Structure 1
């Protein structure tokens, strides 16, 4: 699975960049937010994570100025081709352990293209934590609801400072219809 580029890493121009702002609502129960993508026509899952391994100790936050979203802007070098964003998961604390919360029925996949020497922006991928209380009155995460939208004004500004080596690459927009990813209540 490709790792996000570092802030100063030169990227091979034969690859393309998958760019997304991955966020959660900052709920204390959330350990990470994952969105899954794959090369179209394959079953090999690849994961985009809002916090990564470092999120277990302290959560990186590229969006502190938003006041209500936590996460990071991810820039992944990937081979050119047709891909699909197809599911999401909340990784949360639970009494005595942890849990994985995903939709019962995954959303319709969003197909996007990666082109060599270009950045493909797939949007602000946010998950709102659905909280409730258990029988003892302790707050717990019971689900999540994706809120996917075009956050390019925010994210492309961060791209220019966080990833200066790809800041002048052409940007291709491919933001999913967020309404198709909402969980019915």
Structure 2
């Protein structure tokens, strides 16, 4: 009677071991997948911040080049002649394109405080390129007052980027199941 019982008990123990191993493997696989998804989401957030930072730096550089290369009389005139525009087009066009790129990236941001800071900087860049009546030299005024909207926006992006890096997911938070 015991001769047939030993293989039966061995088979039962092996079945329990296989089921327990499958449960552990399934749990580990789910944990790994959740961690990978959390890390991928964070990587995308960091990439979005980097893209916005780079767009702001590119636009600010192009606008600053425009303010240095075009004489103040032309730059601060609301309505310039088509002939004069043709002369400054190679200088203003890259600045406009880069400022518009930044402007179009902002609405997609999921962080309101970053979007607000970048909007202030974008508004400054746009106002520098498209002069309205009697505004004066908006760019010079902004650069004279520190921190200017560009520095504020870059600081906001850098601070948030640092926060995202400091809280980079290295394990999965346990979620409560209802």
TM-score, normalised to structure 1, is 0.25
Q: Which has the higher helix share?
A: 2
Task: Give 1 or 2 for the bigger CA radius of gyration.
Answer: 2
